[in-house]
Amino acid sequence: MSLSVSRRLAAVTAIAVAGLFASTAPAALASPTAPAAPASPAAATAAPTPPDIPIANVKAHLTQLQSIATANGGNRAHGKAGYKASIDYVKAKLDAAGYTTTLQTFTSSGATGYNLIADWPGGDPNSVLMSGSHLDSVNAGPGINDNGSGSAAILETALAVSRAGLQSTKHLRFGWWGAEELGMVGSTYYVNNLPSAEKSKISGYLNFDMVGSPNPGYFVYDDDATIEQTFKTYFAGVGIPTEIETEGDGRSDHAPFKNAGIPVGGLFSGADYIKTAAQAQKWGGTSGKAFDACYHRSCDTSANLDDAALDKNSDAIAYAVWTLGAAATVPPGRSFENTTDINIPDSPAAGVSSPITVSGVTGNAPATTKVDVNIVHTYRGDLQIDLIAPDGTAYRLKNSSSDSADNVIASYTVNASSEVANGVWKLQVKDVAAQDVGYINSWKITF
Ligand code: TRP
Ligand code: ZN
Ligand code: CA
Give pLDDT tens digits for 322-335: 999 986 544 557 88
Please check whether residue 91 lies inside any domain of the structure: yes
Please check whether residue 424 lies inside any domain of the structure: yes
Please check whether residue 1 lies inside any domain of the structure: no
For residue 200, the one-letter residue type is S
* Domain shared by 349 and 413, yes or no: yes
Q: What is the pLDDT of residue 331?
A: 52
* Domain shared by 78 and 178, yes or no: yes
Report how far ligand 3's centroid is from the alpha carbon of 30 (Å).
18
* Domain shared by 60 and 86, yes or no: yes
Q: What are phi and psi of 286, to 5 degrees?
A: -115, 120
Q: What is the pLDDT of residue 327?
A: 67
**Separation of alpha carbons 151 and 108, rounded Å:** 21
Report how far ligand 3's centroid is from the alpha carbon of 342 (Å).
15
Q: Domain holding 371: CATH number?
A: 2.60.120.260
235 lines ligand 1 (CB under 6 A): no
Could you say which of 326, 356, 372 is where a domain stops?
Answer: 326
pLDDT tens string 249-259: 789 999 999 99
Report how far ligand 1's centroid is from the alpha carbon of 268 (Å).
8
* Domain shared by 130 and 239, yes or no: yes
Please check whether residue 3 lies inside any domain of the structure: no
Q: What are phi and psi of 236, to 5 degrees?
A: -60, -40
Residue 306: which residues within 8 A CB-CB, separation 6 or more? 212, 213, 214, 215, 216, 269, 285
DSSP sequence for 380-404: GGGEEEEEE-TTS-EEEEE------
* Domain shared by 127 and 183, yes or no: yes
* Domain shared by 287 and 361, yes or no: no
- The best mutation among 138, 149, 264, 268 to test binding of ligand 1, ranked by most ligand atoms within 8 Å of the C-beta, falls on 268
| 181 is an active site residue | no
Q: Is 197 helix (H, G, I), strand (E, B) or coil?
A: helix
Beta strand spans in 290-422 (E): 335-338, 342-344, 352-358, 369-377, 383-388, 394-398, 408-414
Q: Assess whether pLDDT exceeds 90 at residue 41.
A: no
Q: What is the pLDDT of residue 66?
A: 99
**Separation of alpha carbons 408 and 383, rounded Å:** 9
Burial classification of residue 126, based on how many CB atoms lie within 10 Å of its CB (0-12 exposed, 13-18 middle, 19 or more buried) = exposed
248 lines ligand 1 (CB under 6 A): yes
Point out which residues pair with 132 in neighbouring strands: 175, 207
CA distances from 287 to 73, 273, 280, 283, 291 (A): 34, 11, 5, 10, 9
**Separation of alpha carbons 141 and 294, rounded Å:** 9
Q: What is the pLDDT of residue 411?
A: 87
Q: Domain holding 111: CATH number?
A: 3.40.630.10
What atom of ligand 1 comes closest to residue 272's alpha carbon? 7
- The best mutation among 139, 247, 251 to test binding of ligand 1, ranked by most ligand atoms within 8 Å of the C-beta, falls on 251
Q: What are phi and psi of 325, to 5 degrees?
A: -105, -20
**Separation of alpha carbons 4 and 416, rounded Å:** 39
* Domain shared by 225 and 88, yes or no: yes
Read off the pLDDT of each residue in 194-212 and give the average, rounded to a whole number. Answer: 97
Poorest-pLDDT segment among 31-45, 156-170, 301-315, 416-430:
31-45
CA distances from 2 to 16, 314, 345, 401, 434 (A): 22, 66, 19, 11, 11
149 lines ligand 1 (CB under 6 A): no
251 lines ligand 1 (CB under 6 A): yes
Q: Among candidates 438, 262, 226, 407, which has minimal Cα distance to 341?
A: 438
Greater confidence (28 vs 122) lies with: 122
* Domain shared by 377 and 429, yes or no: yes
Q: What are phi and psi of 385, to 5 degrees?
A: -125, 130
What atom of ligand 1 comes closest to residue 147's alpha carbon? 4
Q: Is 46 helix (H, G, I), strand (E, B) or coil?
A: coil
* Domain shared by 275 and 340, yes or no: no
* Domain shared by 213 and 109, yes or no: yes
Report how far ligand 3's centroid is from the alpha carbon of 379 (Å).
7
Poorest-pLDDT segment among 12-16, 325-329, 335-339, 367-371:
12-16
Starting from the CA of residue 344, give the closest ligand.
3
Could you say which of 299, 326, 353 is where a domain stops?
Answer: 326
| Residues with a beta carbon under 5 angstroms from ion ligand 3 | 346-347, 382, 431, 433, 436
* Domain shared by 264 and 350, yes or no: no
268 lines ligand 1 (CB under 6 A): yes
Q: Are strands 369-377 and 264-268 parallel, antiparallel or unpaired?
A: unpaired
Please check whether residue 217 lies inside any domain of the structure: yes
Report how far ligand 2's centroid is from the alpha carbon of 147 (Å).
5
Return the residue whose CA atom lies nearest to atom 15 of ligand 1.
181
CA distances from 421 to 72, 327, 359, 389, 428 (A): 50, 17, 8, 8, 18
**DSSP designation for 181:** G
Report how far ligand 3's centroid is from the alpha carbon of 171 (Å).
47
Residue percentage of the chain with pLDDT more than 90: 80
Q: Is 222 helix (H, G, I), strand (E, B) or coil?
A: coil
Q: Among candidates 320, 321, 231, 310, which has minimal Cα distance to 55?
A: 310
247 lines ligand 1 (CB under 6 A): yes
Read off the pLDDT of each residue in 3-8 and give the average, rounded to a whole number. Answer: 36
Q: What is the pLDDT of residue 332?
A: 58
408 lines ligand 1 (CB under 6 A): no
Cis preceding linkage at 147, omega within 30:
yes
**DSSP designation for 182:** G
Starting from the CA of residue 270, give the closest ligand.
1
Q: What is the pLDDT of residue 46?
A: 58
Report how far ligand 3's centroid is from the alpha carbon of 382 (Å).
5
Q: What is the pLDDT of residue 362?
A: 80
Residue 246 pLDDT grade (very low, low, confident, very high; cuts 50, 70, 90): confident
Please check whether residue 181 lies inside any domain of the structure: yes
Its pTM stands at: 0.67
Starting from the CA of residue 144, give the closest ligand.
2
Starting from the CA of residue 381, give the closest ligand.
3
209 lines ligand 1 (CB under 6 A): yes
272 lines ligand 1 (CB under 6 A): no
Return the residue whose CA atom lies nearest to atom 1 of ligand 1.
252
Could you say which of 276, 299, 326 is where a domain stops?
Answer: 326
The tally of domains found in the chain comes to 2
The highest-confidence range among 4-8, 43-47, 286-290, by mean pLDDT, is 286-290
Q: Indicate which residue of 180, 228, 245, 337 is catalytic.
A: 180
Starting from the CA of residue 12, give the closest ligand.
3
211 lines ligand 1 (CB under 6 A): no
Please check whether residue 4 lies inside any domain of the structure: no
Please check whether residue 427 lies inside any domain of the structure: yes
Residue 20: which residues within 8 A CB-CB, separation 6 or more? none
What residues make up the domain containing 27? 9-326
For residue 27, the tally of other CB atoms under 10 A from its CB is 11
* Domain shared by 342 and 313, yes or no: no
Residue 366 pLDDT grade (very low, low, confident, very high; cuts 50, 70, 90): confident
